[in-house]
A = this chain, B = another copy of it.
Amino acid sequence: MSETWLDEIKWNADGLVPAIAQDAASGRVLMLAWMNRESLALTVQEGRAIYWSRSRGKLWRKGEESGNVQRLRDLRLDCDNDVVLLSVEQVGGIACHTGRESCFYKQYRDGGWTAVEAVLKDPAALYGKQP
């Protein structure tokens, strides 16, 4: 199978590119994570967002624990070939591990960061932990 489309991407020194996930319905920017070659290939193959977890050093099938899978609707590459943008259907309506819709819930206000969005689901429940 030709992998020219993967070769065209300018991976950074660690073999990664930033991947932005945007909600296909609401237009909200949900999160930014990182992808390596394998995770991007799998994202297309499986039709769902699969990132590379830099902290865990392994593939991260978004939603594997929480169930909040991101179904791929559209995939874009930028002019410099070093950033990808995923348009996704966010299952469960929650992308953030804090239980919020988007990871970008802290707003700059009066010289500080203020959490301005509601927690939709308790993270403990999200990750199936018993109280």
Contacts and interface: CB of A to CB of B under 8 A. Distances in A.
Interface residues of A, number: 35
Interface of A: 1-2, 4-5, 8, 18, 20, 22, 27, 29, 31-32, 44, 74-80, 83, 85, 96-98, 100, 103-108, 111-113
A44 B20 CA distance: 23
Where chain A touches its partner, the secondary structure class is mixed
Given A20-B20, A97-B79, A107-B76, A112 B32 contact: no
A17 to B, nearest CB: 10
Contacts of A80: 103
A80 B103 CA distance: 8
